[in-house]
Structure 1
Amino acid sequence: MFLKGDTRINCLLNGDWTILEATCVVSTIGSTCNSSIDCKETGAECLVGKCFCGRLYRYDANTKDCVKVCSATKDTFTVYEKTRIGAYNDLGRVKEITITECREQCAGNDDCLSFEYYEEEGICNWSSVTMEMIEDAFPEIIKPDPKDLYSRDCS
């Protein structure tokens, strides 16, 4: 459980409390969802049926909430060599494409947050999640693989 709402309460001069609404909720990051309404953390969203902290957020185990860590995504990527994230290539797959074309097409699509690239086969898989989003919600699906994973950076 975690507190959703202000963590401080004060009694005002008129006798009212400063907190109007605070609730205890179960963390939903990594749980099954039908829509983003099912994901209770700040900035959380439902992607491919699971709750994730959104692209600008990271899960904080101390507060059990998603915390904003950047203001925007960039058109640059961090490479995770010989790594894949299973089951989240939800934005498409293209064969016979170069790494440059794969990167440019992902960078030109706001929904594309990462891609996996098979150098030998020229295959590109696009995804709506970053490596950080997977680390927070489903680290067990990060697997060693012959391809490389490119995860969008944020500023």
Structure 2
Amino acid sequence: MWVCLLYSSEFFVFRRQRVFDGYTCPESKRDFSMDKVYSDIQCALYCKGSSFCVDIFYQPQTGRCDGCRDSEDSELEIADGFLYYTRRAVNYIWTTWSPWSICSLSCDSGTQKRSRECSIRIEGNGESTCEEADGVSEETQPCNEQSCPTPTLGKSCTSNTDCIETEGVCIDERCFCHQLFEYNNTINNCTKVCDTMTGNYTKYENINIAGFNHGSNAAYDSLEDCKIACNSNPICLSFEIWSQEGKVACTTGIITFEMVNSADPTHISYQFGVDLYSKTCI
């Protein structure tokens, strides 16, 4: 937002206002009209020398200068390239500031903004929207300047309270996001992505999750039997399966593939002949 002020050696001011750019006053309202005026200041000086001129419309490409007795917006004529200046009183009317916006970061110095709207009242012309004003329409300030705590995802723990992330859980002495959450690297926190776990599975071929199986392996006749067993176990979120003596062997996993992949992917390994089935959520 800015206002251009034109001065001469004697004190007088023309204020640059974009509200009537691209127009000029009709011939009936002109005090004078001149061509080949070399600058807007020279145009303003011609207006200053007249007792009746209150506004100027200046076309810098052609040097055309129209000095006007009145510039009521209802009577203006379209005139491409003309710039508008007025020597009449201009009052800027600002609304109160809006509330500050939500901080862009929860820690490590984010920013927040607030804004206000402005209108101008030019003597004799009523009220119009500001495009330049003595002030600013938007302010920005820092917020949440405290340092972010060190992430605990994948770190050792003894209870859920050791995991600082939202809905962080301690499983087998390691911090994970809850199964309905995923880790967001942009905000360094767990964010909710699902409402409930399903009885459906995503298959990961030749993938093994080391260290997060509960109990001993069980032998079943088929893959479907492994799914039924996992779905009937409230702590089961995944299972690994492989062929064993004409049957299949299954584990009982207490984390999903997504949980361990976010927290500590070093626990994910390639193991030929072993497939991982991880529960999905919706």
Q: Quickly name the TM-score band, shorter chain normalised.
A: 0.7 to 0.9
Equivalent residues in 2 for 1:15-94, closer than 5 Å: 24-94=148-218
The number of residue pairs the alignment matches comes to 142
Q: Identify the match of residue 99 of structure 1 among 219, 223, 245.
A: 223
Higher relative contact order (CA 8 A, sep 6+): 1
Q: Residue type of the partner of 1:123?
A: A
Structure 1 distance, partners of 2:215, 2:163, is 21
Q: Structure 2-normalised TM-score?
A: 0.47
Structure 2 distance, partners of 1:8, 1:113, is 40
Is 2:136 the partner of 1:136? no
Q: Residue type of the partner of 2:274?
A: K
State the 1:120 CA deviation: 3.8
Structure 1 distance, partners of 2:255, 2:198, is 14
Is 2:279 the partner of 1:152? yes
Structure 1 distance, partners of 2:202, 2:220, is 23
Q: Residue type of the partner of 1:98?
A: S
State the 1:95 CA deviation: 2.8
SS at match of 1:41: coil
Structure 2 distance, partners of 1:41, 1:91, is 28
**Identity of aligned pairs, percent?**
32
Structure 2 distance, partners of 1:83, 1:134, is 12
Q: Structure 1-normalised TM-score?
A: 0.82
* Contact 2:202–2:278 (Cα < 8 Å) also in 1: yes
SS at match of 2:217: strand
Gaps of 5+ in 2: 1-104, 114-145
SS at match of 1:77: strand
Structure 1 distance, partners of 2:261, 2:173, is 17
Q: Residue type of the partner of 1:127?
A: G
Q: 1:9 to 1:52 in 2, by over 3 A?
A: same
Q: 1:110 to 1:23 in 2, by over 3 A?
A: farther
State the 1:97 CA deviation: 4.7
Q: Residue type of the partner of 1:150?
A: Y
* Contact 2:219–2:249 (Cα < 8 Å) also in 1: yes
Gaps of 5+ in 1: 11-21
Q: Residue type of the partner of 1:152?
A: K
| 1:9-36 deviations in Å (ceiling 9; x for gaps) | 89xxxxxxxxxxx883211000000011
Q: Residue type of the partner of 2:259?
A: M
Larger-gyration structure (1/2): 2
* Contact 2:213–2:251 (Cα < 8 Å) also in 1: yes
Q: Which runs of 4+ in 1 moved over 6 A?
A: 7-10
